[in-house]
Amino acid sequence: MKAIIVEQDPWIAELLRSVLRDLGGIETHLFDSAVSAINHLRSDRVDLLITDLQLSDRSGLDLAREVARRAPRSLRVLVTASIDRQLVLDARAAGIADLIAKPFKLDDLRRRLARLLQRDQEGSAAAGNIGDLDGFLQARLKQPIRLAWTSPERQQEAAVLPQQTNQADYLTLARNEPLLALVSINRANREGLLRGREGACVSLSEAYEWLGSHTCADLARRLSRARIALEHPLLQRLAAGFMAEREALAQALKRLSAHQSIAAGPLDTAVNFCRLGEMAVICAIQHYLNYGQQADDDTIKQMINDYAAPFGNQIKTQQQLPFLLRELTGSLFQLPQTGLRKDRILMRIAALETGFAKPDPSQLQQLLRLIGHDRVEVS
């Protein structure tokens, strides 16, 4: 095991190193700043981080988040002179395994670190027996379904979102990140229910208005700490492809609805969830890889195809996605047998025109006539 201790007080740093030495089998490096520790990570791995909260160049929490991004399976311990409720919440979101208050007793510190390392060894053994990707995904379906940030860069963008972020910047980020879009809609509807609002929030612009800039920025920053980002190159490429599909659908719907008496917000929001199932499976696969498992590209693609539907259904239910948005998203794939409305027709036309759905020139021409678009070139 490789450990790094980041502590400005040389005496405390040596004390921590002596405790790890007593536990045995741990290669330890000492640093007095976050930057020096991060530089070390560029050339070596880390299994255990012990950092003080107050560092000279940045917060120990920030360092823990950076280590979590670079080494998701690492253990992270925060040492601090003061612990309050907010710190506990922030530490939990940053994946801190234990909070140790100063001053500490040597025997107590040794026992706590020994227990922590023992739990990690047991967890590693379990991860070693995690099985194949198919079995892992089946097990994931019985748990809360999550989404990931499409890249570490997007995750960092959310982490530094200004407190008074404007609506345009927030919507741009949310439209490129299904994770943020889905949680924003869910949060807005929960807040609306508490405040006695009538009707559901069915658009991102409406969610921003209901929640306010402060809450939206705080939500994005918290998600940046609580959710992983995609790091596997294939998963990033697939996610980028799904986001390109979303943009093509959005542009088509903008054009199609320009002269229709239909609210554009729900249409634009629904396309954010056009590949919700696929994105949920991709997130689960990234977790699988973070456990040190491996899967070839063909297997990854096959698993995404096999599990997209059940993962999509699960996450829509768990996140209580409004029925209107579910119907609109479903219309991209197939129109309902009854209750055929113009907004559903527009969604299906956009899917057919952009290649999102399997080509069906006959249906496309029929639907275009229904909305009064008789003269349209069909590619």
pLDDT tens track for 268-315: 999 999 999 999 999 999 988 877 788 999 999 999 999 999 999 999
Question: What total number of domains does the chain contain?
Answer: 2
Q: Are residues 93 and 169 in the same domain?
A: no
CA distance 152 to 185: 23
Indicate whether 205 and 351 sit together in one domain. Answer: yes
Domain presence at residue 146? no
For residue 322, give its domain range. Answer: 152-370
Q: Which of 16-25, 190-199, 294-303 is the most confident on average?
A: 294-303
Q: How far apart are CA 65 and CA 48, in angstroms?
A: 13
Residues 166 and 96 grouped into a single domain = no
pLDDT tens by residue, 311-351? 999 999 999 999 999 999 999 999 987 778 999 999 999 99
Same domain, 291 and 336: yes
State residue 202's pLDDT score.
96
The alpha carbon torsion through 245, 248, 254, 260 (nearest 10 deg) reads -70
Number of other residues whose CB lies within 10 A of the CB of residue 231? 17
351 falls within a domain: yes
Does 183 lie in the same domain as 89? Answer: no
State the CB neighbour count (10 A cutoff) for residue 296: 10
Give SS3 for 132: coil
Q: Which of 69-73, 74-78, 197-201 has the lowest mean pLDDT?
A: 69-73
| For range 67-74, the mean pLDDT | 83
Q: Are residues 28 and 104 in the same domain?
A: yes
Check residue 157 and give left, alpha or beta (phi > 0: left; psi -120 to 50: alpha): alpha
Could you tell me if 174 and 84 lie in one domain? no
Residue 198 and residue 278 in one domain: yes
**Residues 298, 247 within the same domain:** yes
Mean pLDDT score across all residues of the chain: 89
**Position 136 in a domain:** no
Same domain, 93 and 171: no
Question: Residue 307: which CATH number?
Answer: 1.10.3210.10
pLDDT of residue 329: 96
| 140 falls within a domain | no
pTM: 0.71
Q: What are the strands of the beta sheet with 2-6, ordered from one edge?
A: 27-31, 2-6, 48-52, 75-80, 98-101
227 and 108 in a common domain: no
Q: 48-52 and 75-80 as β-strands: parallel, antiparallel, unpaired?
A: parallel
**Where is pLDDT greater, at 228 or 149?**
149
